Amino acid sequence: MRDELIRITQEELEAQKRFAREFHSLPGRPRTYHIVTYGCQMNAHDSEKLAGMLEDMGMTAAPAREEADFVLHNTCCIRDNAERKALGNVTWLKEIKKERPEMLIGVCGCMVQEPGMAEKILHQYPFVDLAFGTGNIHRLPELLYRAVDTRRRVVAVPEEQTVLAEGLPIRRESPFQSYVTIMYGCNNFCSYCIVPYVRGRERSRSADDILREVEGLQARGVQEIMLLGQNVNSYGNDMPGGVSFPELLRRVSRTGIPRIRFMTSHPKDLSDELIAEYAENPVLCRHLHLPVQSGSNAILSAMNRRYTREAYLEKVEKIRRAAPDVGLTTDLIVAFPGETDLDFEDTMDLVRQVGYDSAFTFIYSPRVNTRAAEMPGRIDPALATERIERLIALQEEMTQKRFAEMIGKRESVLVAGLSRRSENQLTGKCSRNISVNFPGDPALIGKIVPVRITGAGKTTLKGQIIEGE
């Protein structure tokens, strides 16, 4: 609820800035940092804020973990393998620390926010010097100051995630593509998902704060912004009489920023007004990520998704009618507890029917405290693997179909850099969010260029710049 929200005050922000300044002259302080980021865009953006604060503290980025004085792991806990990977990498550093005892190891982000995890870190990971949850990000200067000053371990996890931090320094990874958070947290409690427990309830930033940030980015020449929220369609619901998400999109579009994307929208709240925006707003990229999770009504209900397969397909139909050139992508979970062969076939059938550009596919992973973790009907891992492989193969077929339709078309590509695969090739995303590789001058990096699609690989398109346009 909005009235529970604690905005960090100007005094608190000043206090953190003081810690950052005083850190410069702290004896034996770390000079270099390296941040290892796991998980979603929200975490990637949090890492940009963490880096911003560390630079304010007089530290510079070290290219490799093993060389840094302070290594911070910004973790994810959405699935068991994300968590195991982070903990494995933290443990790996223990060996490096034996040779370089002055190295500081930090763990932050969603995993630290999980019930019982702070205690686990305290007892089972004694070489971790600093741990804090997502709600404490803005306190990094103070926490690190205390860890270095006292030479003692610092573990800080807030009880409630009610803080909304404005005014943090941000060290952005790209000069032409930027993340802008519009809301934090999630109220949906899908039965499999840990996010509402580790990121707290929905808190929207004010439209004025968002617009000010976007205007600043536009003035610095940023070409594309990605508006971030766990469930952007609920933007403003916690602010009675506030701005709705479609209205926010319109206002952001008027700043003159060339391209806008957003992540992620929940199908149950995808409004006609937002669909209309795709038809009317040329600044909005031609891509919609609309996670369906399953094609079976029984499973959707057990997942607490609050829409049916039919309602989802109807929304897809509406989007296709309003804006046929919008590419759809999705998230899919297989082997949810109790998923029968027929339920799974419903998912396969839905994937065939929608024809997504691409999909993220996951095997269900039980998470502490979530309702699904208590549900009967666990699926045998061998069967889960078989299902996900079939699903991936089907999606690859659908991707090829979509790619084939795009050959010969003109796409606007924001050039992100050099292609990793082949020399003399540039790479960037088209408005539909598909990577396009094409020969070109590296001076074009950071610009939006017209490209004719000439071919398709497995996950990327090939093209040629359209000259003289």
Q: Which window, 183-191, 251-259, 274-282, 449-457, contacts ligand SF4 (CB under 6 A)?
A: 183-191
Per CB under 6 A, contacts with ligand SF4 among 104-123 are none
- Site for ligand SF4 (CB under 6 A): which residue of 35, 103, 186, 226? 186
Considering just the CA atoms, what is the radius of gyration of the chain in Å? 23
Report yes or no: 248 and 204 within 8 Å, Cβ to Cβ: no
Tokens matching residue 255: 């700043």
196 binds, among ligand 5AD, ligand SF4, none (CB under 5 to 8 A by kind): ligand SF4
Report the alpha-carbon angle 5-11-14, nearest 5. 120
92 binds, among ligand 5AD, ligand SF4, none (CB under 5 to 8 A by kind): none
Cα distances from 347 to residues 263, 311, 331, 358, in angstroms, run 22, 14, 11, 15
Least distance in Å: CB of 231 to ligand 5AD? Answer: 10
255 vs 225: CA distance, rounded Å? 11
Strand order through the sheet with 224-228: 177-181, 224-228, 259-263
139 in contact with ligand 5AD (CB under 6 A):
no
214-242 burial: b if 16+ Cβ within 10 Å, else e: beebbeeebbbbbbbbbbbbbbbbbeeee
Nearest to 129, CA basis, from 109, 110, 148: 148
Residues 273-292 vs ligand 5AD: string with x where CB under 6 A?
A: ------------------x-
Q: Which window, 58-66, 97-105, 201-209, 359-367, contacts ligand 5AD (CB under 6 A)?
A: 359-367
Least distance in Å: CB of 193 to ligand 5AD? Answer: 4
CB closer to ligand 5AD out of 130 and 195: 195
Least distance in Å: CB of 331 to ligand 5AD? Answer: 3
331 in contact with ligand 5AD (CB under 6 A):
yes
193 vs 440: CA distance, rounded Å? 43
269 in contact with ligand 5AD (CB under 6 A):
no
Q: Which window, 17-25, 364-372, 418-426, 455-463, contacts ligand 5AD (CB under 6 A)?
A: 364-372
CB closer to ligand SF4 out of 30 and 39: 39
367 in contact with ligand SF4 (CB under 6 A):
no
365 in contact with ligand 5AD (CB under 6 A):
yes
191 in contact with ligand SF4 (CB under 6 A):
no
364 binds, among ligand SF4, ligand 5AD, none (CB under 5 to 8 A by kind): ligand 5AD
38 in contact with ligand 5AD (CB under 6 A):
no
CB closer to ligand 5AD out of 286 and 305: 305
Residues 75-94 vs ligand 5AD: string with x where CB under 6 A?
A: ---xx---------------
412 in contact with ligand 5AD (CB under 6 A):
no
Strand order through the sheet with 70-75: 60-61, 32-37, 70-75, 104-109, 130-132, 154-156
From the centroid of its chain, how far is CA 91?
25
330 in contact with ligand SF4 (CB under 6 A):
no
Phi first, then psi: give them for residue 273, nearest 5 degrees: -65, -40
Residues 218-247 vs ligand SF4: string with x where CB under 6 A?
A: ------------xx----------------
303 vs 292: CA distance, rounded Å? 11
Residues 6+ apart with CB under 8 A from 327: 286, 287, 288, 357, 402, 432, 433, 434
Nearest to 343, CA basis, from 296, 293, 292, 392: 296
Q: Which window, 10-18, 30-38, 182-190, 253-261, contacts ligand SF4 (CB under 6 A)?
A: 182-190
Span between the terminal Cα atoms of the chain, in Å: 51
Residues 6+ apart with CB under 8 A from 290: 265, 267, 270, 312, 315, 316, 328, 329, 330
166 in contact with ligand 5AD (CB under 6 A):
no
Helices (H), 374-443: 381-406
- Site for ligand 5AD (CB under 6 A): which residue of 193, 227, 243, 436? 193
By rule CB under 6 A, what count of residues binds ligand SF4? 10
Report yes or no: 360 and 332 within 8 Å, Cβ to Cβ: yes
Interface with ligand 5AD (CB under 6 A): 78-79, 192-193, 291, 293, 331, 333, 362, 364-365, 367
